């Protein structure tokens, strides 16, 4: 069976039951929840991710399961892949904060249909939301104490590799390693063989069009080097090609569906770029988040504030969505970010209830640094009326209001 690794990766995503074909029927039956594919794992506290594990699964007991797919023709299957799996386990345990796996799981639903909470409850056969939160608590606890599962899955596995796996399992108290050979199982299953043929055909059709790197670069250049999966598709990249170039280090996977071209440095506003790419091409950073971009006042936003079209409104974790209308002269580009102008930002935070002292501080700092003018602020006040007009007029010392 000479299938490319990407084919086996997709097959495993569609058929996670392949992970247990070697497990005796006397053992408890595992059920598998795919957290995501191509999950980045850091090698230091501030690392953006040195490795990318093929699949991250959870079972019904909340045990993090790292899966690496290899084919027998790959020399790494001899010994190197075992080292890779151990790297994944050690560094994920050390550098992933609590809730990391939960956030990866939630982010994975940005590119697929369904509700992540309900999907997990169905997987756990539970309807009470406490089951949901309790499960993620168990996942975090398992990772913290090193209760982790590492799985190598391949068409054929060399005997020396099996010997290493057997030895390690006798030495490790909490973690375990499985080596699963699937060639015979697949060859005896005509449904899987047919599905592999379909997967290969789809990959081939995606590879007919040559990816346009110049187009992708021009898109990313205007976004401080960041781009979304959909933007990569527009430039002719297939999901498989995107995955391959990420593994080679040309692209850095930041979050599910969000990448950065490697030679662009990480932006101090990375979370804001992620929010814009998640919410669409017409979204704009606003309110307290825009104040932070301009470095005005001491307000520390607890969420990323974004204004977007009403038709595009959809709940996003960690993002506060607003659907106000914007005039053409109320947005600008700043450090690659689409952001509301200073005067529009000040009007928005006044309307949302920010304290008078913070507004006063923001206006004074903006005027001192030449980020806006009194005339622009008064013009914005005329558009908004009410509280906005009162605050701006009072701060500017305009007693005529």
The domain limits of the chain are 5-207, 213-261, 279-396
Rg value, the chain, Cα: 25
Largest CA distance in the chain: 88
Instruction: Report pTM.
Output: 0.64
pLDDT tens-place string over residues 335-388:
889 999 999 999 999 998 899 999 999 999 999 999 999 999 999 988 887 889
CATH code: domain 5-207 is 3.40.1350.10
Please give the average per-residue pLDDT across 22-28, as a whole number: 59
Of 299 and 112, which is predicted with more confidence? Answer: 299
Length of the chain: 401
* Portion of the chain with pLDDT greater than 90, in percent: 39
Query: Quick check: 167 and 86 in contact, CB under 8 A?
Result: no
Beta partners for residue 322, in sequence order: 307
Tell me: pLDDT of 56 over 70: yes
Share of the chain above pLDDT 70, in %: 90
**CA-CA-CA-CA torsion for 355, 356, 361, 362, nearest 10 degrees?**
70
CB 305 within 8 Å of CB 287? yes
Is 23's pLDDT higher than 80? no
- Residue 40's DSSP bridge partners are 52
Interior/surface letters 58-96, b for 16+ CB within 10 angstroms, e for the rest: bbeebbbbbbbbbbbeeeebeeebbebbbbbbebbbebb
How high is the pLDDT of residue 313? 45
- Taking 50 as the threshold, does the pLDDT of residue 400 lie above it? no
Instruction: Return mean pLDDT, the chain.
Output: 86
CA distance 266 to 131: 37
* pLDDT single digits (tens) 136-180: 999 999 999 999 999 999 888 888 889 999 999 999 989 999 999
């Amino acid at each position: 069976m000479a299938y490319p690794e990407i084919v086996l990766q997709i097959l495993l995503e569609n058929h996670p039951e392949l992970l247990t074909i070697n497990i005796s029927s006397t053992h408890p039956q595992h059920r598998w929840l795919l957290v995501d594919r191509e999950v980045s794992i850091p090698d230091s506290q501030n690392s953006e991710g040195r490795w990318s594990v093929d699949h991250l699964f959870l079972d019904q007991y909340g045990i993090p399961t790292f899966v690496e797919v290899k084919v027998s023709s790959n020399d790494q299957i001899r010994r190197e892949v075992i080292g890779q799996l151990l790297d994944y386990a050690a560094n994920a345990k050390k550098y992933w904060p609590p809730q990391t796996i939960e956030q990866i799981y939630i982010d994975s639903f940005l590119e697929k249909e369904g509700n992540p909470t309900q999907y997990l409850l169905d997987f756990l056969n539970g309807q009470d939301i406490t089951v949901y939160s309790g499960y993620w608590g168990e996942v975090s606890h398992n990772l913290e104490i090193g209760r982790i599962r590492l799985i190598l899955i391949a068409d054929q596995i060399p005997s020396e590799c099996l010997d290493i796996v057997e030895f390690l399992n006798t030495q490790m108290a909490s973690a375990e390693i499985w080596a699963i050979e699937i060639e015979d199982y697949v060859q005896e299953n005509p449904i899987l063989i047919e599905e592999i043929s379909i997967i290969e055909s789809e990959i081939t059709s995606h590879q007919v069009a040559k990816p346009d790197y110049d187009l992708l670069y021009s898109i990313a250049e205007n976004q401080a080097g960041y781009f979304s999966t959909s933007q990569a598709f527009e430039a002719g990249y297939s999901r498989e090609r995107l995955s391959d170039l990420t593994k080679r280090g040309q692209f850095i996977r930041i979050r599910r569906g969000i990448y950065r071209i490697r030679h662009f440095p990480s932006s101090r506003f990375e979370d804001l770029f992620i929010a814009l790419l998640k919410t669409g091409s017409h979204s704009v950073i606003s309110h307290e988040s825009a104040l932070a971009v301009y470095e005005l006042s001491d307000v520390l936003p607890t969420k990323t504030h974004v204004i977007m079209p009403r038709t595009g409104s959809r709940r996003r974790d960690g993002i506060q969505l607003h659907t106000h209308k914007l005039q053409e002269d109320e947005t600008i580009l700043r450090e690659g970010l689409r952001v509301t102008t200073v005067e529009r930002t000040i009007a928005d935070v006044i309307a949302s209830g920010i304290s008078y002292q913070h507004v006063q501080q923001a206006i004074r700092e903006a005027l001192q640094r030449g980020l806006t003018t009194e005339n622009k602020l008064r013009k914005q006040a005329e558009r908004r009326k009410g509280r906005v007009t009162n605050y701006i007029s009072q701060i500017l010392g305009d007693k005529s209001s």
